[in-house]
Amino acid sequence: MQRHGNNENNTEECEVTVKIRFFARFRELLGTDIVTDVAPGTIFTSLIASVAKKNPEGYAAIFDETGAFHEFVILMRNGKRIDIADADKTVIADGDEIAVFPPVAGG
Amino acid sequence: MFSQRELERYKRQMMLFGEEGQERLKKAHIFIAGAGGLGSPVSIYLAVAGIGTITIVDMDVVDQTNLNRQILHFNRDIGRKKTASAEEKLRELNPDIIINAIDVKIDDTNAAKLIGRAEGIVDAMDNYPTRYLLNDVAIAKKIPLFHGGIRGFYGQATTIIPGTTPCLKCIFPKPPPKEVFPVMGVTPGIIGTIQANEVIKYLLGSGDLLMGRLFIWDGLQAHGEEICVERNPACEACSDMATMKTTPRNVK
């Protein structure tokens, strides 16, 4: 379990706590089960970007040069699929569990 | 009817599902797309289980770099067609089944014909464009697609029942970029045996299939978990298919 702190200007009670789970290649590059506190109103995309930026290779595996998710990336929140097109509009809620994974292609 | 040799060969598994179950396996025809890392364990286990007819398709030649994982092929097979190597090994493993090994590239002009009357497709491919083709044929023929994929120490598997579960495009609408993927033989060994186990369960109507569940394996953590996956109502491959109210034969 890793704890990833940001938004240090917020007081404890204002923050929401979320858990991010990376899989496969993303896990190799970024770890997994990352628990982080974020400000209320944080958007899905910016949350994942802030965590992924700790490893430029990990960031590049998930995001393209414009900062958008690569189109093959699978996003889930609490077991429900989030469409990449909706990730910029999706607000994180307290207790969310987020999964981010690539299709695995080899055979 | 089984020969004495078959009755002996399958004795220990008929303790599980009887002669009736074994008869079901013998009557089955399964199509395996690929005789590589996944195709090796899938075909070996389906052959020894007594799946009556196995069609296995591959277009490649055995290369030295395949041998860390493609356990159907031996050092002596380097330079041989994978289909020739696969056919020889599978026949030796079980002379009482029919093996059709076809040396061809699966494409949109031949996929449906190659699969023919097979009652299930095993995805043992190494690329998404061909997987999507298999997915389309599975939907058109209303037969299951047993999906597997691997990379490094990681793997995934799910069982797709068209009209009931999400299809491959519902789960993975866009392919990842092509790459020469790292892999260690145990990973396709694990995922391939899960696929073979799914095929056998499907044919027997036993247990719970990986329906609507994407199994994800992390070999470094020795941890498997599953993610629930749902049909995409806007899926370009299967959205025209009505959701089946009754599940197909043998599917619980």
Q: Cβ of A99 under 8 Å from any chain B Cβ?
A: yes
How much is the pLDDT for A53?
A: 96
Give, in degrees to the nearest 5, the angle at Cα B22 between B17 and B25.
120
Confidence of residue B1 (pLDDT cuts 50, 70, 90): confident
Q: Are B172 and A24 an interchain contact pair (Cβ–Cβ within 8 Å)?
A: no
Task: Determine the pLDDT at residue B140.
Answer: 98
Q: Does A78 touch chain B (CB under 8 A)?
A: no
Predicted ipTM of the assembly? 0.86
Report whether pLDDT(A5) > 70: no
Tokens of A4: 């990833």
Task: Report DSSP state, residue A65.
Answer: T
Is B172 within 8 Å of chain A by CB? Answer: yes
CA distances from A2 to A32, A74, B58 (A): 7, 22, 44
Enter the tokens of residue B72: 């159907």
The H-assigned helical ranges of A10-82 are 24-30, 44-52, 56-62
Name the nearest CA neighbour of A99 among A51, A38, A55. Answer: A51
- What is the 8-class DSSP label of residue A17? E
- Helix, strand counts (H, E) of chain A: 3, 6
Chain-chain contact of A25 with B152 (C-beta, under 8 angstroms): yes
More confident residue, A46 or A9: A46
The residue count for chain B:
252
Residues B148-168 pLDDT 10s: 999 999 999 999 999 999 999
Strand order in the sheet with A74-77: A2-5, A34-38, A16-22, A97-101, A74-77, A80-82
Three-state DSSP class for residue B60: coil
Q: What is the pLDDT of residues B183-214, one digit of tens each?
A: 999 999 999 999 999 999 999 999 999 999 99
Please tell me if residue A104 touches chain B, with a CB cutoff of 8 Å.
yes
**pLDDT tens sequence across B7-60:** 999 999 999 999 999 999 999 999 999 999 999 999 999 999 999 999 999 999
Q: What is the set of domains in chain A, with CATH numbers?
A: 13-90 (3.10.20.30)
The whole-angstrom distance between A75's CA and the closest CA on chain B is: 11
Report whether pLDDT(B236) > 80: yes
Q: Nearest Cβ partner of B38 from A27, A28, A107?
A: A107
Chain A residue at shortest CA distance from B185: A107
Strands A80-82 and B53-58: unpaired
